[in-house]
Chains A and B, each alone.
Chain A
Amino acid sequence: MNPPKTATAKKVNVAAARAPRGGSEELISGSEAVAHAVRLADVDVITAYPIRPYDTVMQYVSQLIADGEFDCEYIVAESEHSQFEIVKHASAVGARVFCGSSGVGWLYAFEALAVTAGLRLPMVAMVGNRALDDPGAFGVEHNDALAVRDLGWMLAWVATAQEALDTALIAYRVAEDKRVFLPCAISCDGAFLTHSQAIVNVPGQDMVDGFLPPYDRAEKQLHPDNPITIAPQANEDWVMEIRRQSDMAARRARDVIIEAYDDFNAQFGRGGEPFIERYMMEDAEVALVGMGTLAMPVKVAVRKMREQGKKVGFVRVRWFRPFPTIELQEALSGVQAVGVIDRDYSFGSSFFSGVLANDLRSALYPMVNRPGIVSFIAGLGGREVSTDNVIDITNKVLDAASGGDIDDQDTYWIGVRE
């Protein structure tokens, strides 16, 4: 197997993690956690346009401003497109920015999203994941954020409110690193994370200041004292070179993410491993792979299966872009079969799988003893993924591992009414 050459897998010393220090314990939702991260990052410009479930972040940020706890330019735009255009430009003049949306709102901003990445502007955005609007559907699906996966956006998926806060701080650090200068979107599952409250350690300002340096656009800052033009017309005699530069930035982002998790763990005593979370993987014979809040029912199911003596583990993908190819190859190298649970779809794609399954298949393809990959679609539109669903999934993967009827060249829909 030939791992990509740009970076070597580097392990964070999670064992050195100590108890959380500083700050306060708060009972807050995932959206509130992100709002606190925005406050702690001392964001300069925020634009808002309501769409459920993202709008809860806007509400909490405006509350923080009204309470005098936070000062920033808070602009209510007239659409998602304008919302993202405004912060795109603010980022170019050197302002740290925050924005976000959900579902079709995110897609309505697509032009701005594409150009933000192309111009290498380190915007941090929150996507409250939402179905792509079968009229009014607002439950979670991951296709909204995934739509920008090929454009230079870094994409992270979180599972808890604490992780949402922590990842937002890490996102600013990585996006604004001069080696990267790419935007980053943090995906929070609509309802399950955006609207449910948990005890979160909200760190003190000095702790955050020690981790996150100010945004410095340096010689790329659009400013009268630094006369530059950004985004001149670029035709075929320039576009490939520009794309190649973005490609290199996306490759360099790997090392920068690893460094950021190292420092985050050292500073806050938490943060875990960059890119993926491994659950009961040490001796696992089959593994499940997924993103976001479905980690909860999956972990419960894994424990239940373990009680029955079945060696099941779980890998939660925390960063989808850059894709953790090296980490996934390494984590899944010992298992006989993998079940990928996609809370998204890619209609008409290979094996009619979801997006994660397709990327994982390509990542594992160079492995000599690659495990079979069975693809599952579950939880669309916010439908519950129950522990029983996951047990059903795991049994299918075990069946595939033992050469049963389950076909690793097909995709199984779980929890759909027959």
Chain B
Amino acid sequence: MSTGSVEVVYRGIFQKTLAKNICRGIVFAAKNEGKIGIAFGRYSDSPERNGIPAKQFAVVADTEEEMEEHLSRYEPDNNDVTIAADDTLCKGVECWAWYGLQPINKLLKEGGTLLIPSTRSVNHLIGEIHRKGMPYNLAIVKGTASFSGLWVYKDDHTDVRLLGALAKVAPHIVSLDSILATIDDRLKATSAKKAYDLVESVSVGANQGNDEVPFEFEMPGWTEMEEGLVIRGIAGQQEVPGRDGGYVPTRNPTFKKFSTRTMRPVVNFDTCTQCKICWLQCPDSCFDITPDGFYDANMEACCGCGVCEAVCPVSQCITMVNEEAFTDNDSQWELWIEDKESYSGWLSEKISEPPARSHGFHHVGQYAEEIANEPS
């Protein structure tokens, strides 16, 4: 069969246009081969929210009947290729409440290819990606994730590079020639061709990878749900686990949202003045109050918006760092309280390479400064 489907998992807002361009590119290329294609965004997604994992699909078929078979399910669940447009998505995706954490390779077929733009090593990524009961391939296009805004698109060739790489890993869906035939710009065509040549693919064995069991939920039946669309508030609060005191608010247990994060705040407790501003301004009430009065961003809840870094009045007290630099959601304050010296080393290491922010601003007033400094 010379047809199939491609799933593009992307970050809401930042990669909305990128995902659309990739899927449209596949359909146009398929058309060049006399096949029929359909590109669509999953309707339940809310791709107008910063960073939320969302999906686009492209389906290519030889006949209408074959196309109907692909489209007769809610989302294609046996994909030839899954493209994770941002490598932090390898930790799993949670798209809305009660969705659970879905492994990035969940909808990939046996022997299919997971295609990722990344600067990380194969082993690093396999260590993050949840195990799958069947073998598949992991292909990497060297590069960092391309992030844009809601109204603007950063035309940095990521779309054509991924299309070029796709032609290499799944030539039965679209060939390089038909991809190239859709690209007018000569430089972009070169980028596509280069990615085709340079994409690296390794095979991942059945049950190789992250052995964490992703959280999931069983949805209640209609007789178990409260009538009248009533959702009970969650009562109470807790102390910091294993400690005497502190304040941990109760949070929505069915929507953790941390898979929305492309970067996370790292806090320097040695310079923190306990001014509370981060705690007040965090839109998701992520800060737990520690027994000694610090504010500890809870990584099970933080969606990585970056507001805390921008509002913290102490220079470099909060620094946003790319999510790929972390392997767990452990409490930073616990690390610090247990061994302040080694925390200090850990902190400097995390913030050493100037971390590129995927979105937002380092500090209040940055936008005005940038505008003022722009050459007229």
Interfacial residues, chain A to chain B (CB-CB below 8 A): 118-121, 181, 220, 227-232, 234-238, 240-242, 244-245, 249
Q: How far is the CB of A95 from chain B (nearest CB, A)?
A: 16
In contact, B221 and A241 (Cβ under 8 angstroms):
yes
Contact of A237 among B98, B222, B226, B231 (CB under 8 A): B98
The verdict on A227 contacting B233 (CB below 8 Å), with A236-B44, A237-B98 known, is yes
Given A241-B221, A241-B225, A245-B222, A235 contacting B231 (CB threshold 8 A): no
Is B230 an interface residue, CB under 8 A from the partner?
yes
B232 within 8 A of A: yes
Task: Say yes or no: A232 contacts B44, CB within 8 Å.
Answer: no
Dominant secondary structure at the B interface: loop
Cα(A37)–Cα(B71), bound, Å: 56
Closest to A226 in B: B233
Residues of the B chain whose Cβ atoms lie less than 8 Å from the Cβ of A118:
229
Name the residue on B nearest A92 (C-beta).
Answer: B228
Residue from A119, A121, A220, A235 within 8 A of B96 (CB atoms): A235
A282 to chain B, nearest CB (A): 42
Distance of A231 Cα from B227 Cα, bound (Å): 11
Nearest Cβ in chain A — how far from B231, in angstroms? Answer: 4
Categorize the interface residue count of chain B. Answer: 10 to 19
Asked if A228 contacts B222 (CB within 8 A), the reply is: no
Beyond A220-B227, A227-B233, list 4 extra A-B contacts (CB 8 Å). A235-B44, A241-B222, A242-B225, A244-B222
A245 near B98: Cβ-Cβ < 8 Å: no
Complex Cα spacing A228 to B231, Å: 6
B221 near A232: Cβ-Cβ < 8 Å: no
Within the complex, the shortest CB–CB distance from A226 to chain B, in Å, comes to 8
Q: Is the beta-carbon distance between B229 and A234 smaller than 8 angstroms?
A: yes
Nearest B residue to A235, CB-CB: B44
User: Which one of B219, B227, B230 has the greatest number of beta carbons of chain A within 10 Å?
Assistant: B230
Which partner residue on chain A sits nearest B45 by CB separation?
A235
Please state if B44 and A120 are interface contacts (CB–CB under 8 Å). no
Which of chain B's residues have a CB closer than 8 A to the CB of A241? 220-222, 225
Q: Contacts A236-B44, A237-B98 given; indicate if A242 touches B229 (C-beta within 8 A).
A: yes
The residue in chain B whose Cβ has the minimal distance to the Cβ of A246 is B227
Nearest neighbor of A120 in chain B, beta-carbon distance: B228
Contact B98–A232 (Cβ < 8 Å): no
Contacts of A121 in B (CB 8 A): 228
30 contacts between A and B (CB under 8 A): A118-B229, A119-B228, A120-B227, A120-B229, A181-B227, A220-B226, A220-B227, A220-B228, A220-B230, A227-B232, A227-B233, A228-B231, A228-B232, A229-B230, A230-B231, A231-B229, A232-B231, A234-B229, A235-B44, A238-B225, A240-B222, A241-B220, A241-B221, A241-B225, A242-B222, A242-B225, A242-B229, A245-B222, A245-B225, A249-B227
A27 to chain B, nearest CB (A): 41
Least CB distance, A45 to chain B, in whole angstroms: 18
Asked if B222 and A229 make an inter-chain contact with CB atoms under 8 angstroms apart, the answer reads no
Q: Which of B202-244 touch A at CB < 8 Å?
A: 219-222, 225-233, 235
**Which residues of chain B are near A228, meaning CB under 8 Å?**
230-233
- Within 8 Å CB of A237, what residues of B? 44, 98, 219
Interface set, chain B 87-138, CB cutoff 8 A to A: 96, 98
* The one of B98, B230, B235 that contacts A230, using a Cβ cutoff of 8 Å: B230
CA distance A292 to B197 in the complex (A): 79
A235 to chain B, nearest CB (A): 5
A235 CA to B43 CA, complexed, in Å: 10
Chain A residue at smallest Cβ distance from B226: A220
Residues of B within 8 A of A240 (CB): 222
Residues from chain A with Cβ under 8 Å of B233 in the complex: 227-229
B316-339 residues at the A interface, CB under 8 angstroms = none
**A119 partner residues in chain B, CB cutoff 8 A:** 228-229
Give min CB distance, B95 to chain A, whole Å. 11
A237–B100 alpha-carbon span in the complex (Å): 13
**Cα distance A235–B96 in the bound complex, in angstroms:** 10
Ranked 8 nearest A-B pairs via Cβ? A227-B233, A241-B222, A120-B228, A229-B231, A244-B222, A231-B229, A245-B227, A235-B44
Bitwise, B58-98 to A at CB < 8 A (1) or not (0) is: 00000000000000000000000000000000000000101
How close is B224's CB to chain A, nearest CB, in angstroms? 9
Closest to B225 in A: A241
Q: How far is the CB of B249 from chain A (nearest CB, A)?
A: 13
In the bound complex, CA of A245 to CA of B235 (Å)? 26
Chain B minimum-CB-distance residue to A219: B230
CA distance A231 to B231 in the complex (A): 8
B44: chain A residues within 8 A (beta carbon): 235-237
Q: Which residue of A lies closest to B222 (CB)?
A: A241
- A236, chain B: closest CB distance, angstroms: 7
Distance in angstroms between the alpha carbons of A276 and B96 in the assembled complex: 48
What's the least CB distance linking B37 to chain A, in Å?
Answer: 25
- Residues on B with C-beta less than 8 A from A238 are 225
Once the chains bind, are A230 and B229 in contact (CB under 8 Å)? yes
- Smallest Cβ-Cβ distance to A236: which chain B residue: B44
**In chain B, what residue has the closest Cβ to A245?**
B227
Q: How far is the CB of B75 from chain A (nearest CB, A)?
A: 12
Tell me the complex Cα distance, A181–B229, Å.
12
Q: How far is the CA of A228 from the CA of B228 in the complex (A)?
A: 11
Closest Cβ neighbor of A222 among chain B residues: B230
Residue numbers in B under 8 Å from A120 (CB-CB):
227-229
Residues of A within 8 A of B226 (CB): 220
Docked pose: A335 CA to B92 CA in angstroms? 67
A241 vs B228: C-alpha distance when bound (angstroms): 11
Q: Report the Cα distance A235→B95, complex, angstroms.
A: 13
With both beta carbons as reference points, the residue of chain B lying nearest to A121 in the complex is identified as B228
Docked-complex contact B222 and A230, CB < 8 angstroms? no
| Minimum C-beta distance from B254 to chain A (A) | 11
Measured CB to CB, the closest approach of chain B to A122, in angstroms, equals 10
Docked pose: A220 CA to B235 CA in angstroms: 16
